Amino acid sequence: MLHDIMPGTEEILNKGMASGYIGFDPTADSLHVGHLTQIMTLIHFQRAGHKPFALVGGATGMVGDPSGKSQERNLLSENVLQHNLQSVQKQLENFLDFNTSANSAQMVNNYDWFKNFTFLDFIRDVGKHLTVNYMMAKDSVKKRLEGDTGMSFTEFTYQLVQGYDFYYLWKNQNCILQMGGSDQWGNIVTGTELVRRKGKGEAFALTTQLIKKADGTKFGKTESGAVWLDAKRTSPYQFYQFWLNTSDMDAKSYIRIFTLFDKETIEAIEAEQDAAPHLRTIQKALAKDITIRVHGEAEFLKAIKSTEFFFGSIGIEFLSELNNEEIITLFSGVPNFTIEKADLDAGLTATELLAGKTSVFPSKSEAKKIMQGGGASINRDKINTPDDVITSDKLINNKYLVAQKGKKNYFLIVAE
């Protein structure tokens, strides 16, 4: 996981319990899998006997993206920001131990120390210690790579704010280490420099590698967007499927980063995978571990059943265990059709249902041909003839029908 570490960091950590922090932007009311690397960093930090601080950027969240380039970090109102803060804090509490002994995790919000900090105070107490020339030189390589040789006043101030966060936690919480992704190195060393110049002290930096897929694409993104930790944004089934569908090469990397399995366990899982690659042992172990830690064992078991449902290994009765939202989510990746419930109350022939009221089949002639060959079903019951009558008695949860064309082509019919 490690990318870079400031000289002296390892030595100071080996001396005894130390305090360190990682910052999280409250740009949404949920964290996503892209945050998991830093969450895992804090978990390892605490397991090693150190005290982790999770800084939620209430003040910096009000700034948005200082470069103005990101649509994901827009300026937030105070009400939205407070909602996001509470949600993110609740999620972090699922991973870190906030009720242990001396090294209990602690949540901090930089809004608490910036809300009464005037602009003049900021320039006097912070700005004078880090010159524009220093900030430009520190950032020049990154800027040149991006084809931009300048730094806006907002970006300059934003880095000073992040640097002051480190200084504040160093001074008030004895926080000697800031951790983050490798793209945060510049912001972190701004803090260590402020500690040195303003506080006449010493602070340290540690960064992790940015996680990418083996094919070079961004980790944590799917065709439908980010994979969130909140079940309302990404269902436990979708979350489980994200990890289950990981490539073999990525899975070998991710199981080392995102689980707490020891070396021997991981190597044993890999040996099973090498012996029978088609069983996808690594992906299953990875998906199980992360899904349980994020959503709990009950939701993991439901995700397993959902997966097995599409493979036909469990019956249609499983759907009665799900609520309406879960059924819609489960079938979000397959064609959905809506019909009038009154039509089903009166009864519809299979042909009219699947090729008239819906387009499960493109034409009634094709529907009849497939049905006569035994290739169509409703709620896993094979349709015997094109004239079989389907009524509302077959509705699941008084609302749904599951149609199949062959074994693998699923369709959800919603009666309203």
Catalytic residues: 27, 32, 35, 69, 73, 162, 183, 218, 221-222
* CA–CA distance, 80 with 43 (Å, rounded to integer): 28
Q: What distance separates the 2 farthest-apart alpha carbons in the chain?
A: 87
Q: Which residue has the tokens 């289950």?
A: 244
Classified as helix, coil or strand, 53 is: strand
Which residues are CB-neighbours of 354 under 8 A, at least 6 positions away?
360, 361, 367, 376, 403
DSSP-derived secondary structure letter, 235: -
Q: Which helix (H) or strand (E) holds 88?
A: helix 78-92
The letter for the amino acid at 129 is H
How far is 87 from 76, CA to CA, in rounded Å? 15
- Give the total residue count for the chain: 416
**Can you name the residues that pair with 107 across neighbouring β-strands?**
54
Pairing of strands 336-339, 19-24: unpaired
Instruction: Reduce the DSSP state of residue 391 to 3 states and report it.
Output: coil
* 130 touches 190 (CB < 8 A): yes
Question: Which residues partner with 206 through β-bridges?
Answer: 5, 179
| CA 284, chain centre distance (Å) | 18
Beta bridge pairs of residue 108: 55
- Those residues whose C-beta lies under 8 Å from the C-beta of residue 196, and which sit 6 or more positions away, are 202, 203
DSSP state string for 16-33: S--EEEEEE--SSSS-BG
